[in-house]
Structure 1
Amino acid sequence: MNWITPTIILTIFMSLTLSIFQPHHAKKNLMLLFLISLIPINSLLNNNELTLSLMPLITMPTENINISFTLDTLSTLFTPIALFITWSIIEFSTWYMTTDPNNHKFTKYLLMFLITMLVIITANNMYQLFIGWEGVGIMSFLLIGWWYGRQDANTAALQAIIYNRIGDIGLIMATAWLMTSSSINMQELMTQHETINIVPMMGLLAAATGKSAQFSLHPWLPSAMEGPTPVSALLHSSTMVVAGVFLLIRLHPMMHNNTTIMTLCLLLGATTTVFAAAAATTHSDIKKIIALSTTSQLGLMMTMVGLNQPTLAFLHMITHSFFKATLFLCSGSYIHNLNNEQDIRMMGGLSKTMPMTSSFMTIANFSLMGMPFLSGFYSKDTIIETLMNSHTNSWVMLITMIATILSACYSTKIMLTTMTGYPRTHHNTHNETKDIVNPLIRLVLASILMGALMKASTLQITTMTTMPKSIKLMALIATMAGIMLSKDTFYMTLHLSPKKLNKQSLMFNQMAFFNVPHRTITMITLKISQKMSTELMDLWTMENWGPKGLSNTLTHTIHLSTQQKNMVKNYMTVFTSSMILILIISLI
């Protein structure tokens, strides 16, 4: 088995690279690679680890940098998931992007996105991880700005790359620190976890905040919805946004003894969860609601990392990947059907015209809420139980429960608004062909079964504490409360006359997060720069050191060398008076 696994991982990378040159074969190749990647799971699941290293590329006095793959529980489990989801999304995009003249190029970009994510997953040193990290950032920039003729798409792509660069500063700092003081090899880092300084840990937290769109660096994620729907599905399920949390899970042994970092993770995660869930309830764009729901779920994963439960965070990451990909693809099917209409208030009655998509959407939403025996239940329920049974601050518990209620709220809102009632816009009804239905069936089956499969594996370790029935049922109670609240609100507001949406009401414009960094700060910076260039440079520098300064400097020298004071009247008076005096003397 020792030689089979490295062969498999190299086969996967080689085949993916070849698929880029033959995008029309990508779907079949990905299906084959997914089946191949299932082989090493059995031998490597029980915390065994296999490392595959090549010759050093760069030799340094303290560090040898080489290409090195690691296959442990995290990478062997997540590789087939990434392949499976990309396979489904690429099959869906053959239908979704069929009218696009560059659809082969689009497939190549998606495959490149997958390869860079696999580099992150299997990297055995910080240097290699950084290559994958940057690759994911570049590909997200290209894919979000795919329709580059639209101003919004360009702005969103720039937003994604700039916010990520802010986070990347942290990763670069952490890598540089580790390279000088410890090691950039994963195994060596794990063994030296007692001695590592807080600075690289803060860097890793900053990197995860940027990439996984945690509170303060989150505005790029809703904006990223300007890209095509298959991009949103891939970006939000198994690539890009989970890379930040994946980094923290992978390097968790390095951080778990440091209470400061763990508390920061906990507070950051809890704040993100409740804030994004609250923002999602105020939106009416279907893709933005689902995007903010991703931010909320990532906050939940971050909370688990902060609670010293990285395995639970990873479990939620896996289950979330499937139902989030399903949600996005279903929304893409709706949007295409309604002539690119994304406002849920303009949808309605879709359960009649698109029954299969609506069924899949309902199952995925229930999974997101944590309905019993769907995959989301196995991770979300366990997370809430663990939180309730832990010695942590009650504020985090309270707002995580509020976030659970809100997540049930916006999920129910999507279902009631889009599927029930009567159509509110002109339908361009298409048949739900196999290109749409097949990937969705696969993803929905995974959304139903994956939780139970993971429960059978070593990933889910439920809390062994005996607990009161109220705490055991807490997650379910919160979910039911959210559903009832959303249903009542929907039926109360259904008969009201439609109002024009007030832009400021979108969770205070996402709590002023759009206006402050993108408008106020930029305008202040621009004005300060303008004043510095005009007033400081021209008026102060030029006057003090330019012509005026030169003349002021020369005046003293002139006064020293001559009695002339540059006063013409005085000169003329002295000259005339002296001439008259000479004339008088000469005449006498």
Structure 2
Amino acid sequence: MSTLFMLIPTLFSFLAFFMVISPFLLRSNNFSKSATRAVKIALYLSLVPLTLLILKGPDNVTATVTSFPWLDNFCSTLTLLTLFDKYQIIFLPIALFVTWSILQFSSWYMAEDPKKDVFFAHLLLFLTMMIILISSGNLILFFIGWEGVGIMSFLLIGWYNSRANAATAALMAILYNRIGDIGLMMALVSLTKFGGLTSFDYLFSFNAPTTLLLSLVVAAASKSAQFMFHPWLISAMEGPTPVSALLHSSTMVVAGVFLLIRIHPVFSNNYTILSTCLSLGAITSAYAAWSAVKHNDMKKIIALSTCSQLGLMMVAIGINLPDLAFFHMCSHAFFKAMLFLCSGVVIHNLGNNQDIRLMGGLFKALPITSTCITIGSLALMGTPYMVAFFSKDAIIETATNSMINTFALLLTLVATSCTAIYSLRMIYATLLKQPRVTPTTLMFDEPLDAKQPLIRLAIGSVIGGPILLWMLFPSFPKEATLPDYVKWTVLIITVSSFLLALFFAWWRHWSTPKANTLTKEFNPDLMSLSIHRYAAGHVLTSGWQIVAFGIDHALAEFSNKFAFTSLNIKLTKAITHTHKGLIQLYLACYFITLNLVLAYYCLIY
């Protein structure tokens, strides 16, 4: 019987995976519907291992490792391992549930797109790569999923590739993630060189040097958009709204945090790495939360809130509590996907307007969407008994009761305070008061394919917290032994920040504007214009003229003189064939390069 219980997670996880990729294997006239149906069935299959985990408890579920030899005759150390433990069993249904809701929403949101089926195929591949990543038992398979989510994010962020901003955002995302890929590859090569094994079990028993662990932290920081690696996450809002929802909730941005959760036993006693994670997470959380207070773009406010919550997950890892980081990662998926989908409904009905200053009074026009925005914002703030309250409250309570950096703790509390401020600001600006939209007649629309995903995610945002708490911590004490002022810290900060934001909103709305104030002399828009526009623009324009005219003219004269023109044309045509945006070409280049590197390694060692 125990052997049967060990095989159930493996069997049903594989069935769910094959169900997800089944639309690629079975031809269908309507790929979008078949993809949505496949993910829905895969969700039901993934609930079987989850039910087993609930019945037996997370600590009694044995991690199952399955081995797949790869290039066994060529290099004996290359083996793909899959791992089915509590992290995989819990996160897989959440990822499938969120993706099912996003796919159904996309059938309405992307209905007029001529490449709708290709878009659904990309979303499905995105999910597939994330399933590979969370199910990996060694760094080789993890790296395949890691690279896969990176490639798919590049294609999806740049979906509107005729827009210059979208193309730039996609390029920025792939360049920032290259830094993390280098860190992960350095760790992979080092482990292969030292022991020839890359499984997580071997990594746990390996006395890893701090430099190797730092490379993994850098990899996680770039993928999860920590401070100094965060600009790509904000610019990624140029992609379609369903892409933003999937990217921020359960795929790309949580991959870095999931990597640190997976390898946490390796650095659980390395205080250099723990302090790095703690400080980096606290700075990221505070910086992103404060930036969201000043932003006016609805999608960018939600994106910065993602960055702030990722910083909070890093704080949990820094205080040696990976289970709490995983808890917050799971709870974050529900309300973050819902907030992005709500923003998609609002933006779609307002003619692609994303500025919250031009919204207002949407509560009567979009009742379901407005209700879901309110629920998601309350969950994001950590309102008691909402899904994020249980994880945020536990993280901050544990941080205040731990021997940690006081500066990091203060930054975390500042981030919690700012979260309440910008959440209330977004609700106030978009839903309340009088409409500030254009005077043209607008037909507001909330179709069934838009309402059903929002309602499902709203239910998850309300009842998901106690369920996740019960699954992850079945023996969690009902009353934590903490002082009263520590126990009430999160709630007091959230409520006080909420009231402070309410006061400032009331004061800004009802106070009489003054004709001459000192603050007008420090207008940040004028400062940016004077420094960045005129001075930098003059220098850059001069440089552009030199490059565009002088150097190009000299090269043209040189090539004509030595008859290089025909050669340049042939080389340009050859290179153009490899840059057509086809995923098959990119995957072929990736596998050819990987096999060449592996062949070189096997010949040398």
1:60-82 per-position Cα deviation (integer Å, ceiling 9, x unaligned): 77x62223211001111111111
For residues 439 and 11 of structure 1, what CA distance do their matches in structure 2 show? 24
Task: Give the secondary structure class of the aligned counterpart of 2:71.
Answer: strand
Paired residues for 1:251-290 under 5 Å: 251-290=263-302
Deviation at 1:503, TM superposition (A): 12
Paired residues for 1:352-391 under 5 Å: 352-391=364-403
More deviation, 24-33/287-296: 24-33
Paired residues for 1:53-452 under 5 Å: 53-58=67-72, 64-182=77-195, 183-192=197-206, 195-426=207-438, 428-452=442-466
Match of 1:52 in 2: 66
> Does the CA contact (< 8 Å) of 2:257 and 2:314 recur in 1?
yes
- Normalized against structure 2, the TM-score is what? 0.81
- Normalized against structure 1, the TM-score is what? 0.84
Match of 1:8 in 2: 12
More deviation, 485-494/398-407: 485-494
For residues 388 and 505 of structure 1, what CA distance do their matches in structure 2 show? 36
1:551-573 per-position Cα deviation (integer Å, ceiling 9, x unaligned): xxxxxxxxxxxxxxxxxxxxxxx
User: Is 1:489–2:504 an aligned residue pair?
Assistant: yes
Deviation at 1:433, TM superposition (A): 1.7
One-letter amino acid of the structure 1 residue matched with residue 374 of structure 2? T
User: Is 1:478–2:467 an aligned residue pair?
Assistant: no
> Does the CA contact (< 8 Å) of 1:386 and 1:463 recur in 2?
no
1:231-284 per-position Cα deviation (integer Å, ceiling 9, x unaligned): 000000000000000000001011111110000000000000000001100000
1:501-547 per-position Cα deviation (integer Å, ceiling 9, x unaligned): 999849x98xx9xx8xxx99x979x89x98xx99xxx9xxxxxxxxx
For residues 315 and 491 of structure 1, what CA distance do their matches in structure 2 show? 36
For residues 320 and 265 of structure 1, what CA distance do their matches in structure 2 show? 19
> Does the CA contact (< 8 Å) of 1:285 and 1:343 recur in 2?
yes
Task: Give the secondary structure class of the aligned counterpart of 1:457.
Answer: helix
Deviation at 1:191, TM superposition (A): 2.4
Deviation at 1:26, TM superposition (A): 1.4
More deviation, 223-232/457-466: 457-466
**Change in CA separation of 1:432 and 1:498 when aligned onto 2, cut-off 3 Å:** farther
For residues 15 and 367 of structure 1, what CA distance do their matches in structure 2 show? 32
> Does the CA contact (< 8 Å) of 2:17 and 2:42 recur in 1?
no
**Change in CA separation of 1:505 and 1:174 when aligned onto 2, cut-off 3 Å:** farther
> Does the CA contact (< 8 Å) of 1:57 and 1:67 recur in 2?
no
For residues 482 and 319 of structure 1, what CA distance do their matches in structure 2 show? 22
More deviation, 464-473/246-255: 464-473
One-letter amino acid of the structure 1 residue matched with residue 203 of structure 2? L
For residues 513 and 245 of structure 2, what CA distance do their matches in structure 1 show? 34
For residues 269 and 463 of structure 1, what CA distance do their matches in structure 2 show? 28
**Change in CA separation of 1:171 and 1:5 when aligned onto 2, cut-off 3 Å:** same
**Change in CA separation of 1:255 and 1:420 when aligned onto 2, cut-off 3 Å:** same
Task: Give the secondary structure class of the aligned counterpart of 2:482.
Answer: coil
> Does the CA contact (< 8 Å) of 1:175 and 1:200 recur in 2?
no
> Does the CA contact (< 8 Å) of 1:385 and 1:463 recur in 2?
no
**Change in CA separation of 1:405 and 1:19 when aligned onto 2, cut-off 3 Å:** same
> Does the CA contact (< 8 Å) of 2:278 and 2:314 recur in 1?
yes
For residues 504 and 179 of structure 1, what CA distance do their matches in structure 2 show? 55
**Change in CA separation of 1:505 and 1:281 when aligned onto 2, cut-off 3 Å:** farther
Deviation at 1:428, TM superposition (A): 2.5
Task: Give the secondary structure class of the aligned counterpart of 2:79.
Answer: strand
User: Is 1:26–2:35 an aligned residue pair?
Assistant: yes
> Does the CA contact (< 8 Å) of 1:266 and 1:304 recur in 2?
yes
Unaligned ranges ≥5, structure 2: 556-605
More deviation, 174-183/303-312: 174-183
> Does the CA contact (< 8 Å) of 1:327 and 1:364 recur in 2?
yes
For residues 476 and 58 of structure 1, what CA distance do their matches in structure 2 show? 56
**Change in CA separation of 1:352 and 1:497 when aligned onto 2, cut-off 3 Å:** farther
For residues 504 and 339 of structure 1, what CA distance do their matches in structure 2 show? 30
For residues 184 and 55 of structure 1, what CA distance do their matches in structure 2 show? 13
For residues 156 and 503 of structure 1, what CA distance do their matches in structure 2 show? 31
Task: Give the secondary structure class of the aligned counterpart of 1:101.
Answer: coil
Deviation at 1:7, TM superposition (A): 2.4
Deviation at 1:112, TM superposition (A): 0.5
> Does the CA contact (< 8 Å) of 1:86 and 1:234 recur in 2?
yes
Deviation at 1:57, TM superposition (A): 2.8
Match of 1:563 in 2: none
> Does the CA contact (< 8 Å) of 2:153 and 2:247 recur in 1?
yes
Paired residues for 1:509-528 under 5 Å: none
Deviation at 1:459, TM superposition (A): 3.7
Task: Give the secondary structure class of the aligned counterpart of 1:112.
Answer: helix
For residues 201 and 130 of structure 2, what CA distance do their matches in structure 1 show? 21
**Percent pairwise identity:** 43
Deviation at 1:470, TM superposition (A): 1.3
Match of 1:36 in 2: 45
For residues 434 and 248 of structure 1, what CA distance do their matches in structure 2 show? 39
For residues 279 and 381 of structure 1, what CA distance do their matches in structure 2 show? 23
> Does the CA contact (< 8 Å) of 2:22 and 2:38 recur in 1?
no
Deviation at 1:213, TM superposition (A): 0.2
> Does the CA contact (< 8 Å) of 1:369 and 1:404 recur in 2?
yes
How many residue pairs end up in the alignment?
Answer: 520
**Larger of the two Rg values belongs to structure:** 1
For residues 320 and 308 of structure 1, what CA distance do their matches in structure 2 show? 20
> Does the CA contact (< 8 Å) of 1:282 and 1:505 recur in 2?
no
For residues 499 and 453 of structure 2, what CA distance do their matches in structure 1 show? 32
Match of 1:469 in 2: 484
Deviation at 1:464, TM superposition (A): 7.1
Task: Give the secondary structure class of the aligned counterpart of 1:40.
Answer: helix
Task: Give the secondary structure class of the aligned counterpart of 1:241.
Answer: coil
> Does the CA contact (< 8 Å) of 1:167 and 1:211 recur in 2?
yes
CA RMSD of aligned residues (A): 2.8
> Does the CA contact (< 8 Å) of 1:214 and 1:269 recur in 2?
yes
For residues 226 and 28 of structure 1, what CA distance do their matches in structure 2 show? 28
Deviation at 1:431, TM superposition (A): 3.1
Match of 1:569 in 2: none
